[in-house]
Amino acid sequence: MKTRRTLVTAVAALTVAALLGGCGDGDVRETVGSKGAKGAINISPDQHRVRGKKVDSIAAKVPAAIRARGTLRIGGSADASPPLGFYATDDKTRIGSEIDLATLVADTLGLKTDFQAVSWENLFVGLDSSKFDGVFSNVTVTEDRKEKYDFATYRLDDLAFEAKKGTSWRVKSPKDVAGKTVSVASGTNQEKILVDWSKQNQKAGRKPVDIKYFQKDTDYYLALQSGRIDAYFGPHPTSAYHVASAGQTQVIGRFSGGGDQVQGKIAATTRKGSGLVDAYAAALDHVIEDGSYAKVLKRWGLSSEAVKKSEINPPGLPTP
């Protein structure tokens, strides 16, 4: 289980120190970001979540066995970073945008939520074994995954370049990172994009990207503040949260998680043939239409990743 020390996975230690020095004790414990109700992000266990109401016609789409059980067993990654899924200031309560959206869907389906945080790989093991009815954990639709799982989309999958606040540098294409030192997590879509861009630059006679790897998000941000790297290339939600909460960096470029080939999309994930994907999509369309979905994204700073409707099994990231 993550502790308070790792709650701020996406906020470097030096950032936390700055936040502690700039707020009163109550603000430090309960919020991060700009002081005041409009700018602060609530990280206390008392979340005042946006809630929904059961819609009978949509609830009827849920398989009878799950309706009889009355709970929706939802898996989430214990390794996720703010604002997606993390522990509140009590070190016990799981909070974040993914938890909020899953709760809203469950409300619409007339079900209580049973959240379980496990390692990333065990999310899919849990689906395969029917331990989970669904996963809401920043899962990107891919062509490979569609062979085993059904998807109902609820957010765009975007990546971001994050650099020191005040820089005039912007990243719009591969040439903009030529000769730059950029950190990225190993084995990710963003690493593949960055490696491909570096090769393109070399082929065009430009300098390659100096790619750096770190073990933790805090290491990225410490390296960024000390000038050892020029930028960090990672998930947009993590960067957006860090920008809002720390105030020391800015997003200088944003791209689809699918690169130039397809707009990546994040989706509620369920075992293929579970009978739940239609219910998830209908519930998501309902909360999009009634405005509660937009309220959830806004409170976590993710409004720019909103979708207009939920799609079932749309084109996913292509097989490598």
Domain boundaries defined on the chain: 56-156+262-312, 158-256
Q: Do domains 56-156+262-312 and 158-256 have the same CATH topology?
A: yes
Does the pLDDT of residue 36 top 50, yes or no? no
Does the pLDDT of residue 198 top 60, yes or no? yes
158-256 — its CATH code? 3.40.190.10
Kindly calculate the radius of gyration of the chain based on its CA atoms and give it in whole angstroms: 20
Query: Which DSSP symbol is given to 89?
Result: T
Does the pLDDT of residue 107 top 80, yes or no? yes
**Pairwise CA distance, residues 127 & 114, whole Å:** 14
Contact yes or no for 108/95 (Cβ under 8 A): no
**Pairwise CA distance, residues 153 & 157, whole Å:** 10
Return the minimum-mean-pLDDT range out of 33-37, 228-232, 248-252: 33-37
Does the pLDDT of residue 22 top 70, yes or no? no
- In the chain, the percentage of residues whose pLDDT exceeds 70 is 88
pLDDT of residue 248: 93
**Predicted model pTM:** 0.83
Superfamily of domain 56-156+262-312: Periplasmic binding protein-like II (3.40.190.10)
**Pairwise CA distance, residues 27 & 161, whole Å:** 29
- In the chain, the percentage of residues whose pLDDT exceeds 90 is 75
pLDDT of residue 24: 35
pLDDT of residue 15: 36
pLDDT of residue 5: 33
Average pLDDT over the chain reads 88
Cα distances from 155 to residues 97, 207, 294, 307, in angstroms, run 11, 35, 11, 6
Does the pLDDT of residue 37 top 50, yes or no? no
Q: Is the dihedral of CA 74, 258, 173, 308 positive or negative?
A: negative
